Each structure stands twice: as structure tokens, then as C-alpha cells.
Amino acid sequence: MTTTEGKFFAEVILPDNDSLLGVKLISVREEGGTIEEIDISNAFHVISDEKSKRLRAVLPLRTAGEIKIVAKLDSGKYDVLVGNVLEPVHKILEERAAWLCNHSFNTFQETRPYACLPLSNQGESLGKLSFILMKNLLSAPIPEQVSKVERSAFHDLKHHWFEDGDFMSPIPLYGSFYRIYDFDYIGHVFYLLSQFDESFLQYGKPEAYLCWAAEIMCMRLDPDCHQNKREKEEAGLVGVFILYIGDLLADLKKSAFIYWYEKLDKLWLAFVEGLKQGSQGYQGAITEHFYDNAGFGLTCEALCLAELTDEAELYAPLIIANIGYSNDYRANAPDRWWEALSFMTHSLWGGLVAGAARAAYETIGDTRLLEAGYRATMAVFNCYDWNVYSTTRKLKPGEAASTYSIAAPNLNMPEISRNRFGQSIFKKSSDPLFSSLFSTIEGDDWDMGEELVAYMLGFGSTTYIYTDEEGGLSCVNGFIEPREKGWEITSYAAYPTRYVMREKGLTFISKEGEIVRSVLFMDGTFERTEVKK
């Protein structure tokens, strides 16, 4: 995976007693266009500083779209690599935010005015709001975008999920119960609003939104706040709140809300103690499903955040196995099979598990986590990429579809084979269970957004280098090139501000407000090369 601003690295490791006969690069640049084939055999060279037989080609690819590289060996065997060239990721995020603000707000309607569309009782539908806010925090803020989210939060989130806006009185939107997970998403929106300067806000001050986020999280994590067995048990399950609980606690500690800090800190410590006690039996892998990556992925991340490394290391191999490895970028996805009844990429949980893998790497140090997290993150962008033409469902800039069915053919539903879709596709299912379960779902993107927040918190800002098993320097989320003195590292991150070499304890962090696209690695240290305000 690369971007049009980067370079594509392709490597061939030759088997013993075999040689490379030729390599072709195949691409389709326009919808319905002809296939282009280019011989790139001469671009491959032996890596001079290694003892292995690795051949490497460095290809600047300036046109976005999927590519296939086919290597033919003298023995007659072939190997194939399917990759993708993305638009610069910040452009994808900006187009997405603009599209949502133009199409996804229920402005001036009688039913839930200002709510995010499509209307849903499930908190996953609010991920779009958190994404818009996070994008505006990391780049030059667009006041109109922030205002739309704040208006939705103040009028819809506060009153649709809570009696008279009282965060201690959730409404049982599902008949006899309310869903604990929903509050993770609501709390996230209010927390992100608290990060904006008051000049961008119309309905409340940053301090008020910080307090609201704390109140919601205290209610969410406290079993004693809930009357029913279901809600009491769900209070002990990990969720999306793991993306912001650490920052929320840190901000509360510095604020005037000492009561809420002490209360939330106590609940958090009790929560992670429960995760610790359940780790030997892998209880974090069980949600409403067994062996659920929505469970063990975020459980591993939570244990890392709590510095419970031994327990986190029990879950880390599950993440690595769940993501797996493929020479087709579309298949490097955490296996979330249940919706499509088939191997698939699900943008929300694919992105969150990928983010958990990256976060776990920073604590545990296993480079397999880092590499798997990056592969899976890039697979998720298949759900947003308007330059992908290999699927029946095409996207316009800014559009998205939550799911991609990797398997082909998909015998359960042939029409979703290697196609992008949303849960609304099941409304027309011949299975009465599926058609009733998804009868109220509208649109292809209702549960998307938090995966992009996880991206921005990780690979959206950070590039990593490490020493690989051959003894060379490898780069994840960027490319590395030798210079007269040292190495130049160029980031693929949307908003690059951080470079890490964990094995040596080295971290480069830009100054506030700076975008640093590349750095030099010289004499065991990072040095800046250029800065963009």
C-alpha cells in the first residue's frame, strides 16, 4: 500500500535454484477503462547491504488505483501481489467530512432534528460525529463542520438517549433495556467537543462538555447505576471508550472537576482489575459472540493502557492470528465474519482491531502487531476509496460502504462477492431472521466513523521504523531511503507529527500545530528536515 505522494516497495525473495524471468505491473486507471501492463523487470535490484537473495523495486506511482504485480520465475512458477495506491489520506478524510456534512444531518426535521443520518438507536451511528470532530482537531478547523456536530450533540444525543437530558437516566430504547455500548460513542462526542476552543462552540463551554463526558462514562462503567442484570454485566465489557478514557482522565485531573476525576479513576481501576482477573480464561474474547475480535482486540489495548503487559500478551496472539497475512491487500482484514456469513472487512471493527494491534505494539514490542495493524488499517480504506473499480459498488468522493466481502464466490449471497455494501442489503434477504433484524437499517455507512478516529490517533499521525530480521531498517506507514548521511523517512500519515523507533526508545514529536512530512535518522537520532504549519 502506498499513496500518490509516496513510493511503492515490492520485493521478491527467490527460491533456491530459481531466477526471476520478468515482472509486470497491471492496473486499471479509469472505470470501464482498458487494462494497462508495464514491464518493470529492470526496476528490481539485489539489495546491496544484505546476504539474502531479496530483489527490491522502488516505484513512484502517481495515479491512484489498484495494482497487480505478477512475477514470473524461470521455473515457470508465478507469484502475484495485489496492492493499492491511495489518494493522500488527508484528502480522503477531508472529502469524507465534507460529504457527511452535506448529506448526513437531519436538519429541521420533526423527528430527531439535527440528528446524524441514517437515524438509529445504536451508538455506532454516532461514529461519524466523532470522526468529523477529530479531523477538525488535527487539521485547520472548519467552523461549520464543528457547529453541525455540536448542534446534533446538544439537541439529539442529550435528549434521545436520556430522560430530559439527565445522563443518569438512560432511556430503554430497545424496549425493556438500554445498550451500554451506546454510551461509549456519546461520551466520545462530548469529550472531543471539550477539546475545541470556546470560539468554535455555540451551545456550551469546553468545560461543560468535559464534565458531561465524565458523567456519561461514570454511569457507563458503574454497575450500581443500572437496575437490570443485562446492563450490569455489560458495564464490565470493554468498548470504544478505550480510545479516549486515558485522555479524559488526564484532562479531568487537570480540571476543576476533581470529584468526577476521582470517581472515574476508581471505576476505571476496578474495570481493568476485572479484565486482569478474566485474562487467564480469555474472558475478553467473549461479547455477544465467542472469539469476537471486538472483545479481545480492545481488551488487549485496554490492558496495555493499564500497563498490565503480561495479561495483554495473552490476547496479542489472537489479534495477530485474526488479521492474518495475504499478498492481496483486500484480504488483510480482521476476520469479522458474522454479518456476511463470510470472511469480510468490516470498517468499524476492522479499523478498531487494527488500531488495537498498533497500540499493543507500542507496549509489547512485537513487530508482528505493528505490521498486522497497518495491513488491516489499509484494508479498511477499501471501504472509502473512490478509485477502486474492482467492486460492483462504486463510490463517489466522500462516500463510503461499511463492509467488503472478501470471499468470492460468496455462496450465501452471491451479489456481495468481492463487493462493498452496508447492512441494509439484508433487508431483502429471503431469511426472515435477517430481513427482520435489519429491517430498520438505511444506507451503506450507518455505523462508520470510529475506525477513522482510531486511524488518526495512530497511523494518522505516527510512522515507525525498526530493525527487521535481515538486520536492515524497515518502515511502517511511510518509506525510508538512504541519504549521504543516514536515512530519510517520509510519512504516509494524514497528519504526520510523530516518528518512533521503539526498540531504541526513540520518539520524534513535532511542535504543536506542525506537520512534519519527513525526518532524517542519523547517528541513532531523529532530525527534522522540513516543517509545514
* pLDDT value at residue 423: 81
pLDDT at 179 over 70: yes
Provide the residue count of the chain: 533
Widest distance between CA atoms in the chain: 75
Q: What is the pLDDT of residues 218-255, one digit of tens each?
A: 999 999 999 999 999 999 999 999 999 999 999 999 99
Highest mean pLDDT among 201-210, 337-346, 431-440: 201-210
DSSP state of 111: S
> What digits encode the pLDDT tens for the residues 470-512?
888 999 999 999 999 899 999 999 999 999 999 999 999 999 9
* Mean pLDDT within 159-166: 98
Flag the least confident range among 103-117, 154-168, 271-285: 103-117
* pLDDT tens digits for range 266-307: 999 999 999 999 999 999 988 767 778 889 999 999 999 999
DSSP 125: G
What type of residue is 150? E
DSSP 338: T
Q: Which amino acid is at 530?
A: E
| CA angle (173 as vertex; 216, 447 as ends), nearest 5 | 75
Beta bridge partners of 474: 466
Give the range with max mean pLDDT: 102-111, 113-122, 256-265, 345-354. 256-265
| Percent of the chain predicted with pLDDT > 70 | 96
- Nearest CA-CA partner of 24 in 62, 81, 86: 81
| Residue partners of 207: CB distance under 8 A and separation at least 6 | 194, 255, 256, 257
In this structure, which amino acid lies at residue 18? D
pLDDT of 434 > 90? The answer is: no
pLDDT at 201: 99
Instruction: Please state, in angstroms and rounded to a whole number, the distance separating the CA atoms of residues 514 and 76.
Output: 51
pLDDT category at 408 given cuts 50, 70, 90 is confident
- What mean pLDDT value characterizes the chain? 93
Tell me which CATH homologous superfamily contains domain 1-86.
Immunoglobulins (2.60.40.10)
Q: Number of C-alpha atoms within 13 angstroms, CB side, residue 516?
A: 21
- Pick from 253, 348, 228, 250: which is nearest to 298 by CA? 348
Whether cis (ω within 30° of 0) applies to the bond prior to 482 is no
Q: What is the pLDDT of residue 102?
A: 96
Name which of 390, 370, 401 is nearest 328 in CA terms. Answer: 390
- Please choose, from the candidates 498, 489, 491, 492, the residue with its C-alpha nearest in 3D space to the C-alpha of residue 457: 498
Q: For 63-72, what is the mean pLDDT?
A: 95
Which of 363, 359, 333 has the alpha carbon at shortest distance from 348?
Answer: 333
Q: Are 337 and 344 in contact (CB under 8 A)?
A: yes
**What is the grid cell recorded at 192?**
472531543
| Strand 8-13 to 54-59 pairing | antiparallel
- Give the contacts of 428 (CB within 8 A, at least 6 positions apart): 435
Q: pLDDT band at residue 465, thresholds of 50, 70 and 90?
A: very high
pLDDT at 32: 67
pLDDT band for position 20 (cuts 50, 70, 90): very high
Contact status, residue 518 vs residue 490, Cβ threshold 8 Å: yes
List, in sequence order, the alpha helices (H) in 27-155: 89-103, 127-138, 143-152
In the structure grid, which three cell numbers stand for residue 401, read together? 460502504
User: Sign of the CA dihedral 186, 116, 438, 387?
Assistant: negative
What pLDDT does residue 388 have?
A: 93
Cell 470529584 belongs to residue: 259
Rounded to an integer, the average pLDDT of 81-92 is: 96
pLDDT in tens, 346-367: 999 999 999 999 999 999 999 9
Percent of the chain at pLDDT > 90 equals: 78
Higher local confidence (pLDDT), 28 or 129 = 129
444: its cell numbers = 451503506
518 strand-pairing partners = 490
Q: Are residues 88 and 42 in contact, defined by beta-carbon separation less than 8 angstroms?
A: no
Element (H, E) at 22: strand 20-28
* Arithmetic mean of pLDDT, 367-386: 97
Burial class for 497, CB neighbours closer than 10 Å (0-12, 13-18, 19+):
buried
Looking at per-residue pLDDT, the higher value among 471 and 387 belongs to 387
- Residue 233: other Cβ atoms inside 10 A: 12
**CA dist., res. 269 & res. 259, Å (int):** 16
| Residue 51 banded pLDDT, cuts 50, 70, 90 | low
